[in-house]
Structure 1
Amino acid sequence: MEEREVMSFLDEQGNKVDFEPVAEIYLDEQKYLILAPIDGDDEDAYVFRVDMEDEKEVLNLVEDDAEFLKVKKEYSKLLYNEE
């Protein structure tokens, strides 16, 4: 059985939430991660931009609609092998 990668974060109330990476996307040399909550509905997924701060990777939730749609479009291309 393959062991899955788990990434843990704290929500606004300080509760631990576990996520599983779904995809790693690169757009214009910017890295994005699509993460899905392990205990959540299979339909839920979040897009995070991976930024470098003090030489460390920091995940920032993508809240800009245009940026989100670009990542979603690239993910669809990967998912369906579209050109």
Structure 2
Amino acid sequence: MEEKKIMSFKDEEGNKVDFEAIARIFLEKQEYLLLSPLDNNEEESDIFAFRIDKNEDGNEELNLVEDDKEFEAVKKEYKKLLY
């Protein structure tokens, strides 16, 4: 059985929020990470897409995908992995 990868972030109020890494997607030379909240006050199907960018120091930085067209492309690629 594969071990869950858990990532923790702070929300706007400074509260710790845990997410499970669902998938890593590669799309047109760009890498994305799909995360789902563990303490799910939201609906179970909530998945957040983050683009993995490199900052000036060469370190990975997660940026929430807010563009609808980009999000739909990532979601479509994820569905291909499921089926």
Question: How far does residue 3 in structure 1 lie from its aligned partner after superposition?
Answer: 3.9
Q: Mark the runs of 5 or more structure 1 residues left unpaired by the alignment.
A: none
Secondary structure of 2:79's aligned partner:
helix
Q: Output one character per residue of 1:30-64: Cα deviation in whole Å (capped at 9) or x when no partner.
A: 00000000111421110000000021100000000
Once residues 2 and 54 of structure 2 are traced to their aligned partners in structure 1, the CA distance between those partners, rounded to angstroms, is: 30
Identity of aligned residues (%): 60
Number of aligned residue pairs: 80
Once residues 4 and 65 of structure 1 are traced to their aligned partners in structure 2, the CA distance between those partners, rounded to angstroms, is: 28
The answer to whether 1:68 aligns with 2:71 is: yes
Match of 2:46 among 44, 47, 72: 44
Question: How far does residue 2 in structure 1 lie from its aligned partner after superposition?
Answer: 5.5
35-44 or 55-64, larger mean C-alpha shift = 35-44
Once residues 35 and 63 of structure 1 are traced to their aligned partners in structure 2, the CA distance between those partners, rounded to angstroms, is: 14
